[in-house]
Copies of this chain bind each other. A is one copy, B any other.
Amino acid sequence: MIKEIKIQLRDDKREIPQDISKVKFGKTFSDHMFLMDYNSKDGWHDARIVPHGPIPIDPGAMVFHYAQEIFEGMKAYRRPDGGVQFFRPYENIKRMARSGERVSMPAMDEDMFMEALRKLVEVDKDWVPSAAGSSLYIRPFMFATDVGLGVHASDSYLFCILTCPVASYYPEGINPIKIMIEDEDVRAVRGGTGFAKCGGNYAASIRASKRASEKGFSQVLWLDGVERKYIEEVGAMNIMFKIDGKIITPALNGSVLPGITRMSSMELLRSWGYEVEERLISVDELMEAAKNGKLEEAWGTGTAAVVSPVGRLTYKGEDFTVQDGGIGPVTQKLYDGLTGIQSGKVEDTFHWMEKLEK
């Protein structure tokens, strides 16, 4: 339990977007943010909810130099009964602790974390949108605040939660994306930080994503950093293929982010009787399957888009269309299944949802 969360409400309330479909992802913030400090002497302290806005930070703070920083991405949904619910928040809380361990940052107590989430979303409850597929995107993150230029673990950190109302990624129904298999830049390697949601992985990925987008692709598909041969994941999604009737997804090998949508998708697919394999899958195997017509479906899974069908794949100039560039039946079923549970329209038999109201 947090001893006390001081709450300072904003006077100049921002305007809640009326038409959520017009809101760009992660650009419109709710009124408030949660902040809490840590140092080794006092532990976690000074929990507060304050108006979202700039805070004074010394440019000598370690975060600007050595990127000791981790984050999470999760969502809360408006139920048909008007209530609000979080999708598997404890999974994000646990993953953030694992990310922190990799870059020598302290974990926050799970109950304290959940309390902060609840309190912040409660304060900004009106910001949780209700349009189909919309949600409140929640961004907890933490960064090193020690001022000094020596490279070592910071002693002090700031923990912060921001929230953004977001529309469905696909206002007119889900839309297949084109992805480019990246054969030059590497995002992460076993032994490195790939499994952790820390800033450096994303900085490493920006150049390739930019090049891909200049060529008309919406995402990059990463290969492993050791052999540059095995499929890892998409920019901000894990990847799944349906090949010859079986569903295959790259195993978690240390350099792939253990996605919560990935895990949930596997549980749901298995509950429906599909065979799901987690294993190494080489780009050659994938290309071979595509050539022989055995690549039946491909999709990405992630918090932002939930499920994204892949309509086209490119590797070293070779181009493959999946499902004639359309949406496969398993992809659609998975999207409907997950978003149904998240929005509260389908029964939550897995007990994934955590209600805001206790």
Q: Say whether A193 contacts B202, CB under 8 Å.
A: no
A83 sits at the interface (CB 8 A): no
A59 within 8 A of B: yes
Between A25, A65, A209, the greatest number of chain B beta carbons within 10 A of the residue's beta carbon is seen for: A65
Residues of B within 8 A of A58 (CB): 53-55
Bound-state Cα–Cα, A235 to B204, Å: 19
Which residues from 13 to 71 on chain A have a C-beta closer than 8 Å to any C-beta of chain B?
A: 24-27, 29, 33, 35, 52-60, 63-69, 71
A187 touches B198 (CB 8 A): no
Given contacts A59-B55, A204-B200, contact A150 B186 (CB under 8 A): no
Contacts known (A55-B59, A65-B139, A225-B225); A203 close to B206, Cβ less than 8 A = no
Are B153 and A206 in contact, CB atoms less than 8 angstroms apart?
yes
How far apart are A47's CB and chain B's nearest CB, in angstroms?
15
CB closest residue in chain B, given A57: B57
| Any B CB within 8 A of the CB of A210 | yes
Q: Does A143 contact B (CB under 8 A)?
A: yes
Q: Which residue of B lies closest to A197 (CB)?
A: B65
CA of A190 to CA of B224, assembled, Å? 11
Query: Is A184 an interface residue, CB under 8 A from the partner?
Result: yes
A164 to B193, CA, bound (A): 31
Q: Is A86 an interface residue (CB 8 A)?
A: no
Q: Is A141 an interface residue, CB under 8 A from the partner? A: yes
How far, in angstroms, from A202 to B101 measured CA to CA in the complex?
15
Copies in the complex: 2
A207→B226 CA distance, assembly (Å) = 21
Within 158-217 of A, Cβ neighbours of B (below 8 Å) are at: 160, 162, 164, 184-193, 198-207, 209-210, 213
| Inter-chain contacts of A25 with B (CB < 8 A) | 149-150
Known: A55-B57, A65-B139. A200 touches B193 (CB 8 A): yes
Shortest CB distance A214–B (Å): 11
- Docked-complex contact B193 and A203, CB < 8 angstroms: yes
Expressed in whole angstroms, the minimum distance between the Cβ of A43 and any Cβ of chain B is: 19
How far is it, in angstroms, between the C-alpha of A235 and the C-alpha of B225 when the chains are bound? 21
Interface residue A102 (Cβ < 8 Å from any Cβ of B):
yes
The answer to whether B59 and A162 touch across the interface, beta carbons within 8 angstroms, is yes
- Contacts A54-B56, A55-B57, A191-B186 known; A199 to B202 CB distance under 8 Å? no
A60: chain B residues within 8 A (beta carbon): 29, 52, 162
Pick the contact of A64 from B24, B63, B228 — CB < 8 Å? Answer: B63
A96-152 interface with B by 8 A CB criterion: 101-104, 137, 139, 141, 143, 147-152
Query: Is there contact, CB below 8 Å, between B153 and A210?
Result: yes
Distance of A299 from chain B, by nearest CB (Å): 19
**Interface of A toward B, CB cutoff 8 Å:** 24-27, 29, 33, 35, 52-60, 63-69, 71, 73, 101-104, 137, 139, 141, 143, 147-153, 160, 162, 164, 184-193, 198-207, 209-210, 213, 225-226, 228, 235-236
A and B contact pairs by CB, cutoff 8 A, 18 listed? A24-B150, A26-B148, A52-B59, A53-B58, A55-B59, A56-B56, A59-B162, A63-B63, A63-B199, A64-B141, A103-B204, A104-B207, A139-B149, A151-B209, A188-B192, A189-B226, A191-B225, A199-B203
